[in-house]
Amino acid sequence: MRTLSRWWRRLNAARLATYLIALWKLVRQPGAPKLARLVALLVLGYALSPIDLIPDFIPFLGQLDDLLLIPAGVALVVRLTPRHIWAARLREAEQQAEVLPQLWWGAFLVVGVWLVLLGLFVWWLVVTLHEGAVISS
């Protein structure tokens, strides 16, 4: 059973790598719709970023974001792209294996999301404490 599970994980990882290469090719395709290219770029930025939105050391949630966000992003790009363009990019990705670059701007994007969330939390905390101080006085 373990061997089957390990084989299934490797197969899915290889297929995901093919999809990411197809996304990379789609981003560089001038005839692709702009929205599909933008979403593909965001998915690539997140997938290839050295920093995750939810760190992997957090049990369950750390892996769940990778298992949900990246496939959902790929599915959205596939829906936004005309079939013939996506099929051509996928064929190219299957025929020519490329090494995808690490996208450091994706890490800055993830850090930016964390900073915005932290700022919103601090703002909420200040407002809550201020209202508590006004009510008690």
Q: What is the pLDDT of residues 14-25, one digit of tens each?
A: 688 889 889 988
Summarize pLDDT for 54-90 with one digit per residue, the tens. Answer: 776 777 777 777 778 888 899 999 999 999 999 999 8
Q: Could you tell me the residue range of the domain that residue 103 belongs to?
A: 2-136
pLDDT, tens digit (0-9, with 9 covering 90-100), for 111-135: 888 889 889 999 998 888 887 766 6
Provide the whole-model pTM: 0.62
> What total number of domains does the chain contain?
1
CB 34 within 8 A of CB 91: no
